Amino acid sequence: MPTDPFSLFDEWFAEARANEPDLPEAMSVATADATGQPSSRMVLLKDYGPDGFVFYTNVESAKGEQLRENPRAALLFHWKSLRRQVRIEGMAEAVTEGEADAYFASRARDSQLGAWASDQSRPMENRERFEQRFEESERQHAGQDVPRPPFWSGYRIVPNRIEFWTERPYRLHERRLFQRDESGWTEGLLYP
């Protein structure tokens, strides 16, 4: 088996894409505010590599505010059909403007318009008001490319800890832990 966590993630993610019936790129992102109050939600992995794991969002959302207050975050992939999990812990950093622009441009037009229409995580009067805002955004950007809103970008979780968990019978699971220090990655096992 690979001794580099990203090579192992490559293998596992390829297997998940081939076998997981729905959204193998779905991951839970856990954050905490300045007081330590945790929060978790599902997002989609949009890119990854040795520099980290990337997702995009409204930076004024609850998760964006929490990451500004406390940049520590955790990710969790759960591929039930494969009986596997990957747990990732690290620090969040903003993606570059170029990365955010490029990914936003690749999104479906309605998703782009929805980003302009939504005050993500804020209270909503009613669904009709959101739909009106979407229609206003459609009219405003008719016949032109939809630019990325200034409040919409991405985060890269730069890992310092990655655990690969495999289910085994009788709860005798296998847990491989990779931790990063100044010299690179070290590997060990954890009791189930």
In a domain, 77, yes or no: yes
In a domain, 28, yes or no: yes
In a domain, 148, yes or no: no
Domain that includes residue 26, residue range: 5-99+154-190
The pLDDT of residue 149 is: 97
Closest to 90 measured CA to CA, from 13, 43, 155, 152:
155
In a domain, 109, yes or no: no
For residues 151-176, average pLDDT: 96
The pLDDT of residue 122 is: 82
pLDDT tens by residue, 29-70 = 999 999 999 999 999 999 999 999 999 999 999 999 999 999
Confidence of residue 119 (pLDDT cuts 50, 70, 90): confident
* Catalytic-role residue among 72, 122, 171, 176: 171
Q: Cα separation of 12 and 184, whole Å? A: 21
Whether the predicted pLDDT of 136 surpasses 70 = yes
In a domain, 13, yes or no: yes
Question: Does the annotation mark 171 as catalytic?
Answer: yes
Whether the predicted pLDDT of 129 surpasses 70 = yes
Strand partners, 88: 75, 162
The pLDDT of residue 24 is: 98
The pLDDT of residue 3 is: 76
User: Whole-model pTM above 0.85?
Assistant: yes
Residue labelled with tokens 């405003």: 140
Q: Are 97 and 156 in contact (CB under 8 A)?
A: no
Q: How many domains does the chain have?
A: 1
Whether the predicted pLDDT of 1 surpasses 70 = no
The pLDDT of residue 2 is: 60
**Mean pLDDT value across the chain:** 95
The pLDDT of residue 58 is: 95
